[in-house]
Amino acid sequence: MSGTAGTADQSGRELRVFVANCLMGGDEITRNGNNWIRDRVVFNCGDRRFLFRQKPEIVNNQLLQLKDRFAETTEVVVTDVAVSDLQDVLAVIDRICWLLSFVGTCRVIRFGYEYPNGSGLVSQQSVSGIGRLSRPVLDIRDGKRVKSLVEQTYDKYTQLAQVRKLPIVIDYLAQAEVPSQVIEVKAVLAFVALECLKHTFAVEKGIRYEKGAFRKPTWVPSGKNKKSDTYTFKELVGMMLGSVNMSHNLDASYRLRNELIHSGFSSESFNRRRELYEDVYDLIREYMLRLLGYRGRFALYSNPMGDTAEI
């Protein structure tokens, strides 16, 4: 970015960041002319304070004009940002955006910034994605609850994002909810997200991967390969779920996964395919929340108008 390099300590400068597709409601109230508006959410992450301010149309629930398209929704302000800290601060905002993407099941993304704020020195990048209100993890309009989830999970997300490929998983989940996506594609994306979590779990646990499979301790490279020496998909997923005190019967979902991957279609009815997709989506959602250390209530994807669950 031109115009900011070549100076010494420039602490105390304010950073303004532009974010798209963030449809959350506010938590704190500010004055807007003669009225008051609940348009602010402050995230305390990475030893800094990030003020997210939503545009009035977001706060006032005028969302139909923003639904299913790219929407500039949010400005983020961070104070006391030295030039030497700029990229680290932007990285924190990107992590918050990934968590907001998970919460809202759509891609929340930083697309530009001005530094220092008011200088006219603006950096922008080409991005893609659309705003959605599709079965969020919790009430996305409740800024207080969104703030609680992000602040609870930020440190763990930072620790695990790369080793567990969490941005990839979150993006798969968001892509599965793109409008007009056929159920087969939605299901494949959910299964691939689960495969990603399973694979990175095994790698993180140091399970040996040889000749295209994860191997049990009984396996030896020079010996005769036996099927019993290889971890199955269901075994690894079971171990992964057990690590966060979960269990789940994946037999029916696994059959659908095999049909779609190996033949490209399924003999199951549409309602059954939808049911199995929702089952896997719920599984991944709860696993992610437990993995990231969240405590509280959350919405079941399979029952968006019904009861919530609690961790």
Q: How confident is the model at residue 1 (pLDDT cuts 50, 70, 90)?
A: very low
Q: How many CB atoms lie within 10 A of CB 47?
A: 6
What is the Cα–Cα distance from 161 to 1, expressed in whole angstroms?
Answer: 27
Q: How confident is the model at residue 127 (pLDDT cuts 50, 70, 90)?
A: confident
Quick one: tokens of 190? 């959910």
Distance separating the N- and C-terminal Cα atoms of the chain: 44
Whole-prediction pTM:
0.91
68-107 pLDDT per residue, tens = 788 899 999 999 999 999 999 999 999 999 999 999 999 9
Q: Please state, in angstroms and as integers, the Cα–Cα distance from residue 9 to each residue in 78, 82, 126, 281, following that order.
A: 17, 6, 30, 47
The amino acid at residue 210 is: E
Q: How many CB atoms lie within 10 A of CB 7?
A: 10
Report helix, strand or coil for 48: strand
Whose CA is closest to 35, among 64, 63, 53, 56?
A: 56
Given CA atoms 293, 187, 129, 2 in this order, what sign does their dihedral have? Answer: positive
User: Which pLDDT score, from 0 to 100, does residue 197 have?
Assistant: 98
CB-based contacts of 244: which residues, under 8 Å, 6+ apart?
Answer: 287, 290, 291
Q: How confident is the model at residue 5 (pLDDT cuts 50, 70, 90)?
A: very low
Q: Region 239-255: what's the mean pLDDT?
A: 93
What is the Cα–Cα distance from 64 to 67, expressed in whole angstroms?
Answer: 5
